[in-house]
Amino acid sequence: MKKLFVANWKSNKNREEVEKWMDKFSEFMARQQAADSFNSTVVICPPMPFVELVSKKMKDESVFKNVFLGVQDMSQFPAGSYTGAVSARNLEGFNVQYAIIGHSERRKYFHETHQEIANKIDQCLENSIQPIMCIDADQMHEQFSHLADDVKKKTTVAYEPIKYIGGTETQPADEAVRVIREIIDRYSPKQVIYGGSVNPDSIAPFLHHDEVAGFLIGGASLKAESFGEIIIN
Ligand code: PGA
């Protein structure tokens, strides 16, 4: 089954590092294409200031055929007087196709509410951007409760057990898959991906589960080499 691999760089990297990453990744993708060995969908979510740069690189290079651009957050408001917020309109022209919404770090450090997250998802869907809503097992019900059924159906969910974020070991795959099945049964989202310490060594037990549509990858996406090793699975 074709999996979705989403790189979340969070607030890491400066311009030079982004350029280097893109160059390395482009070489990697060229090798995959030459070997005809690549069968995944990849999304790169850089910090906002680098959206234009990454977008341009992707447009210029044919090796980025199954690679798409995403953002790590988006305004809950349309274009207008909302100082500091990045609206869907601001992103027009960069070919942004995905947005991570309601990451646990946004909920924790920026105090985002369930309603704000639901508004952001509406903004995404109104602007043809695929929302990837992050949720945790403990608060799952509240996190879904602000979404209409038709919105749930169109939303990709990233199940991210908070205590496994930013480490080296994932939640045991059988436990994670149990939660993912529950999410699918109760809320019928578009698809569910797993996030939390996914790296080239930890990913294997998840790969043969069809319920796991892909992965949200933080730390291990910061180096093009380790991200490359993950996405060839
Ligand atoms: P991690 O981060 O891969 O470093 O655990 C995942 C995330 O927070 O999206």
Q: 1: how many CB neighbours lie within 10 A of its CB?
A: 11
Per annotation, catalytic residue among 92, 103, 105, 112: 103
Q: Is the CB of 216 under 6 A from ligand 1?
A: yes
- What atom of ligand 1 comes closest to residue 217's alpha carbon? 3
Q: Which amino acid is located at 136 in the chain?
A: D
| Cα separations in angstroms, 139 against 16, 43, 135 | 39, 26, 7
Pocket test for ligand 1, best of 45, 170, 197, 201 (most atoms within 8 A of CB): 197
Question: 233 pLDDT exceeds 90?
Answer: no
Question: 1 pLDDT exceeds 80?
Answer: no
Residue 227 contacts residue 217 (beta carbons within 8 Å): yes
pLDDT tens digit string along 15-31?
999 999 999 999 999 99
Q: What's the whole-number mean pLDDT along residues 158-170?
A: 96
Closest alpha carbon to 4 in 60, 55, 68: 68
pLDDT of residue 36: 76
Residues facing 71 on adjacent strands: 99
pLDDT tens digit string along 28-61?
999 988 777 778 999 999 999 999 999 999 999 9
Q: What's the whole-number mean pLDDT along residues 73-86?
A: 98
**Mean pLDDT score of the chain, rounded to an integer?**
96
- 103 is annotated as an active-site residue: yes
Question: 71 pLDDT exceeds 90?
Answer: yes
Residue 9 contacts residue 221 (beta carbons within 8 Å): yes
